[in-house]
């Protein structure tokens, strides 16, 4: 949840492709589907490792991947505006500008190299989740005024929960 230090830390590279890693990927899938999300990164479940899952299958994209140590190696100069939310900041949503297309290189859970090109919602979800691995939240990608408004809304919703 917003405020947790692990969300603001740069997550560690994975170098051990063991059964523990597969368990972590399974945890991410089940947590993400349970919360009805389209992506989740390991720091969001308290694990500071460079692991993420995304599922945004549509006509345009294959869109279901578990990626280890993902790196954006190419991002299109063309950008797109689109709404984003985050399972670590429930209730908040805002428009974020992202590259329209990205090329990502990573490993799969067996340690095999993966290279993919994503566009549309798939590209957006990957950029959002890779940001999480660097301690960046979508709130950091909106204007300072918007961020102030979103944080005020967040604090208010938290206070209401405490009552
Ligand atoms: Ni998020």
Q: Give the Cα separation of 88 and 83 in Å (integer).
A: 16
How far is it, in rounded angstroms, from Cα 54 to Cα 152? 29
Pairing, β 93-99 against β 101-107: unpaired
Beta-strand (E) ranges in 45-155? 51-55, 64-75, 79-85, 93-99, 101-107, 113-119
Of the candidates 43, 68, 32, the residue with the CA atom closest to the CA atom of residue 132:
43
- Model pLDDT for residues 98-140, shown as the tens digit of each residue: 999 999 999 999 999 999 999 999 999 999 999 999 999 999 9
Distance 12 CA to ligand 1 centre (A): 18
- Give the pLDDT of residue 158: 87
Q: Is 129 a catalytic residue?
A: yes
pLDDT at residue 61 tops 70 = no
H or E, element range at 10: none
Q: Tell me, in angstroms, the distance from the centre of ligand 1 to residue 136's CA.
A: 9
pLDDT score recorded for residue 70: 98
| Res 93: pLDDT | 94
Going from the Cα of 132 to the center of ligand 1, the distance in angstroms, rounded, reads 7
Mean pLDDT, all residues of the chain: 94
Q: What is the pTM of this model?
A: 0.94
Q: 17 pLDDT exceeds 80?
A: yes
Q: Provide mean pLDDT across the span 150-155.
A: 93
Q: How far is the C-alpha of 101 from the C-alpha of 83, rounded, in Å?
A: 16
Q: Which two tokens stand for residue 99?
A: 């590259």
**What is the number of H-type helices and E-type strands within the chain?**
3, 7
Question: Does residue 21 surpass a pLDDT of 80?
Answer: yes
How does residue 63 score in pLDDT terms, banded at 50, 70 and 90? confident
Catalytic residue among 13, 49, 80, 129: 129
Rounded Cα gap, residues 159 and 117, in angstroms: 42
Contact between 130 and 72 under an 8 Å Cβ cutoff? The reply is yes
CA 123 – ligand 1 centroid, Å: 14
In this prediction, residue 60 carries a pLDDT of 66
For ligand 1, the distance from its centroid to the CA atom of residue 70, given in whole angstroms, is 16
* pLDDT at residue 143, rounded to an integer: 92
* CA of residue 119 to ligand 1 center, whole Å: 18
């Amino acid at each position: 949840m917003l405020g947790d230090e692990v969300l603001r830390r740069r997550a560690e590279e994975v170098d051990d492709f063991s059964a523990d890693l597969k368990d972590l990927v399974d945890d991410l899938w089940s947590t993400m589907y349970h919360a009805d999300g389209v992506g989740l990164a390991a720091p969001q479940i308290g694990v500071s490792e460079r692991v993420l899952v995304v599922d945004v299958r549509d006509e345009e994209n294959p869109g279901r991947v578990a990626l280890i140590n993902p790196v954006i190696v190419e991002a299109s100069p063309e950008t797109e505006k689109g709404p984003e939310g985050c399972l670590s900041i429930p209730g908040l949503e805002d428009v974020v500008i992202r590259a329209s297309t990205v090329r990502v290189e990573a490993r799969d859970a067996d340690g095999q190299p993966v290279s993919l090109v994503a566009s549309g919602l798939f590209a957006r979800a990957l950029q959002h989740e890779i940001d999480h691995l660097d301690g960046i939240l979508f709130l950091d990608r909106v204007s300072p005024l918007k961020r102030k408004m979103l944080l005020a809304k967040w604090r208010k919703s938290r206070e209401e929960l405490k009552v």
